Amino acid sequence: MLALAGPADARVKKRFLKSQVFTDGTLAVGQPETFSVTRMPPGAVMAVLLEPVSSTPQCGSGPFFCDPEPVSPAPGTAPFVAGADGSGVFTMVVPTSFLLEDIFNPANSKRSNFVNGQPVHLDAIGKRRSKNVKKVGFGFSRASIQGPPPGS
């Protein structure tokens, strides 16, 4: 007998949540920084990305596209998992650079350093599945990069 319902995952309901991410507005390169999230799915495991805004001069110039840079928890701190109420406070180490990807010839892709005053987005995407409901939360915060001190 043919299954008319389609794949098993087709019966899973998806709920999207408009989450919120908060920072103090500046992110120091190579330093631990704290951010908080609210309205994530309870217990969601989160992926956190730091991305240059689309108006960054290198992004979109010629064949280059700026890739979001994944960040991970600072050493000795909690993993990026939302609490039972969908919120949490986390610490990450701000990356020093991001990937400028050549969309026509990936071999020409190169890394570019974040610069002092550069605007960025800190994105948090959390997913949690329970029974037949998959909840996905997404939020971002605007911030600017605080570069390394002169002479370092």
Q: Residue 19: phi, psi to the nearest 5? A: -85, 170
Angle at 15 between CA 12 and CA 18, to 5 degrees: 160
Say whether 75 sits in a helix, a strand or coil.
coil
pLDDT of 72 over the 90 cut: yes
pLDDT of 108 over the 90 cut: no
Domain ranges of the chain: 14-146
Region 103-129 average pLDDT: 90
pLDDT of 136 over the 80 cut: yes
For residues 49 and 69, the answer to whether their CB atoms sit within 8 Å is: yes
% of the chain residues with pLDDT over 90: 57
Identify the CATH homologous superfamily for domain 14-146.
Answer: Immunoglobulins (2.60.40.10)
